[in-house]
A and B are shown apart, each in its own frame.
Chain A
Amino acid sequence: MEKLERLDRRIIFIFIFLSIAIPLLLPVNLDFSVTPPVQSFYDAIEELPAGSKVLVSCDYDPGSMPELFPMNVAVFYHLMSRDLKVITIQLWATGTLLAELAMAEVLEDFPDKEYGKDWVNLGFKEGREVVMVSMGTNIPKTFPSDSRGNKVEDLPIMQGVNTYDDIALFMNVSGGLPGTKEWVLQVQSRYHVKLGSGCTAVSAPEFYPYVQSGQLVGLLGGMKGAAEYEKLVQRPGTAQRGMDAQSVSHIVVFLFILIGNIAYFSVKGAKKRLKASR
């Protein structure tokens, strides 16, 4: 037991690596259910009439790509399949390329969708909450041109879009700050808009109270949330592929916690007994 207590951490790393690599190589496709916060965001999009404008703020970086990119793709796919107009912005500079990549992946399934008419990328804007508040007053003034240098007034999709009132639904793909918390506090609570969020699993517990209070119409938490959304839109992607690895690695972590505790209490008990016998 004392050996177990002093187990080399590198052995744990090997077990964790194998618990992820083996299920990826030999998938068994474990089933999982769709949770209510994911379902409610899906339903919110389903309820929108065709042609409605949806603003997706892609505020993340490559560091959180395994969790957020699959949900970004799945949400774009859902919006395009419902014939909704997608306006994307980024409050993280690194989000611009990721939003373009996600859309490029989706456009392979929708080759007839046109830039400027069916979707637009307004690009990155520095200023965090100031940008959010400024957009509430005037979107074209905050984003006078898109990420490709086109003037927004020349883009058909931006016709009639002046303030948040002209957007039917908001989605924030959140990797940190600024992210969902800022969108809830600065935009949802001020302008009472319909807002959904896709966030990293680390920040999901912080945002669940906003779902309970109705400030968020839905929440996609981490890779599991992304996998659930992929299941709903029936477009399997990397998140669904990673679910087997996620489950097996969690079991391994659980076993190590269990073994660690058994070893700790056994050694402690043995020391106590030894002390008592002396």
Chain B
Amino acid sequence: MPLWETIGIWLGAFLTLCIFSFLYKDNPFYKLAEHIFVGISAGYWATLEYHNVFRPNLWDPLTREGRLLLIVPFIMGLLLFSRFTKRFSWLSRWPMALIIGIYAGITIVGYGSGDLILQIHANLLPLWTDNWLTSLNNILLTVGVITGLIYFFFSKEHKGALGAGARIGIWFLMISFGASFGYTVMSRMSLLIGRVYFLLGTWLRLLE
């Protein structure tokens, strides 16, 4: 194994242990690792944005290819920095308005067709099929959707039939929260497994 790789592994192991030391209590080693991470991340992102975004998308086409129209986004980009001064901060609203407008336009179309229409369509299921398990699934899904919607219907007090529906809706919501929490535990354990795997396997070489 090359020397630089060995140094990298030892450094990685040291910083991992520094971060884990927070589980005992806050300490200077944890702070050191935290500050190194924040500093390197900021430097990495700044360099990356410069080389991958600013130069190929704006600077090079503008200066080498003479695409003068790019002066407009260049100026718009510069106006974002006007937020640093109280006097000229209002100028940053123009590029912000452009960004929000374009982004909203793009996402509304996607949400409308992908999340609203197609999801409603996917919930229009037959309640009785040849397979009793599919029927049960479809009935549960339909009841869950309707009662969930009832729970979020606030224009009328949740009393009587509406109240009963809302209470059933809460049960469906609770079950879905439980499933989400279970997945969250699984995800966090996976991350810990990854680090322990690195410490025991890559660093200490205790795993085959």
Measuring CB to CB, which residues of chain A are less than 8 angstroms from any residue of chain B? 10, 13, 16-17, 20-21, 24-25, 63-67, 93, 123-126, 129-130, 133, 182, 184-186, 188-190, 200-202, 204-205, 209, 212-215, 221-224, 238, 241-242, 245-246, 249-250, 253
B89 beta carbon closer than 8 Å to chain A: no
B6 beta carbon closer than 8 Å to chain A: no
Most buried by A among B103, B113, B194: B194
B99-136 vs A, CB cutoff 8 Å, 1 = contact: the mask equals 00011001101110111001101100000000000000
> CA separation between A65 and B198, bound complex, in Å?
12
Q: B192–A20 contact, CB under 8 A? A: yes
B184 beta carbon closer than 8 Å to chain A: yes
Residues of A within 8 A of B45 (CB): 93
> CA separation between A246 and B49, bound complex, in Å?
37
Pairs across A and B, CB under 8 Å, 28 listed: A65-B194, A66-B193, A66-B195, A67-B191, A93-B48, A123-B52, A126-B52, A130-B103, A130-B106, A182-B110, A184-B114, A185-B107, A185-B111, A185-B113, A185-B114, A186-B114, A188-B114, A189-B110, A189-B113, A204-B183, A205-B176, A209-B122, A224-B186, A238-B197, A241-B197, A242-B194, A242-B197, A253-B189
B187 beta carbon closer than 8 Å to chain A: yes
B193-208 vs A, CB cutoff 8 Å, 1 = contact: the mask equals 1111100110000110
Measuring CB to CB, which residues of chain B are less than 8 angstroms from any residue of chain A? 23-24, 45, 48-49, 52-53, 57, 102-103, 106-107, 109-111, 113-115, 118-119, 121-122, 176, 179-180, 183-187, 189-197, 200-201, 206-207
Residues of A within 8 A of B201 (CB): 24
Residues of A within 8 A of B206 (CB): 25
Contact of B194 among A10, A66, A125, A202 (CB under 8 A): A66
Residues of A within 8 A of B119 (CB): 209, 213
Q: A246–B187 contact, CB under 8 A? A: no
Contact of B193 among A63, A125, A184, A223 (CB under 8 A): A223
> CA separation between A65 and B49, bound complex, in Å?
22
Q: A129–B103 contact, CB under 8 A? A: yes
For B23, the closest partner residue in chain A by CB is A13
**SS class of chain A's interface: helix, strand, loop or mixed?**
helix
Q: A185–B52 contact, CB under 8 A? A: no
A24-B110 in contact given A66-B191, A209-B119 (Cβ < 8 Å): no
Determine how close the nearest CB of chain A comes to the CB of B59; give it in whole angstroms. Answer: 14
Q: B184–A202 contact, CB under 8 A? A: yes
Q: B180–A215 contact, CB under 8 A? A: no
Determine how close the nearest CB of chain B comes to the CB of A258; give it in whole angstroms. Answer: 14
For B179, the closest partner residue in chain A by CB is A205
Contact of A24 among B103, B106, B111, B200 (CB under 8 A): B200
Q: A25–B207 contact, CB under 8 A? A: yes
> CA separation between A178 and B117, bound complex, in Å?
21
For B123, the closest partner residue in chain A by CB is A213
> CA separation between A200 and B186, bound complex, in Å?
9
Q: B185–A214 contact, CB under 8 A? A: no
A17-B196 in contact given A10-B23, A201-B184 (Cβ < 8 Å): yes
> CA separation between A109 and B114, bound complex, in Å?
39
Q: A185–B197 contact, CB under 8 A? A: no
Q: B186–A24 contact, CB under 8 A? A: no
Q: A24–B121 contact, CB under 8 A? A: no
Determine how close the nearest CB of chain A comes to the CB of B194; give it in whole angstroms. Answer: 3
Q: B185–A253 contact, CB under 8 A? A: yes
Residues of B within 8 A of A185 (CB): 107, 110-111, 113-115
For B48, the closest partner residue in chain A by CB is A93
Q: A246–B183 contact, CB under 8 A? A: no
Residues of A within 8 A of B195 (CB): 66
Q: A10–B24 contact, CB under 8 A? A: yes
> CA separation between A184 and B23, bound complex, in Å?
38
Determine how close the nearest CB of chain B comes to the CB of A147; give it in whole angstroms. Answer: 10
> CA separation between A124 and B47, bound complex, in Å?
14
Q: B187–A202 contact, CB under 8 A? A: yes
Determine how close the nearest CB of chain A comes to the CB of B165; give it in whole angstroms. Answer: 21
Residues of B within 8 A of A212 (CB): 122
Contact of B192 among A16, A25, A200, A205 (CB under 8 A): A16
Residues of B within 8 A of A65 (CB): 194
Residues of A within 8 A of B107 (CB): 129, 185-186
Q: A189–B114 contact, CB under 8 A? A: yes
Contact of A222 among B110, B183, B196, B200 (CB under 8 A): B183
Q: B193–A246 contact, CB under 8 A? A: yes
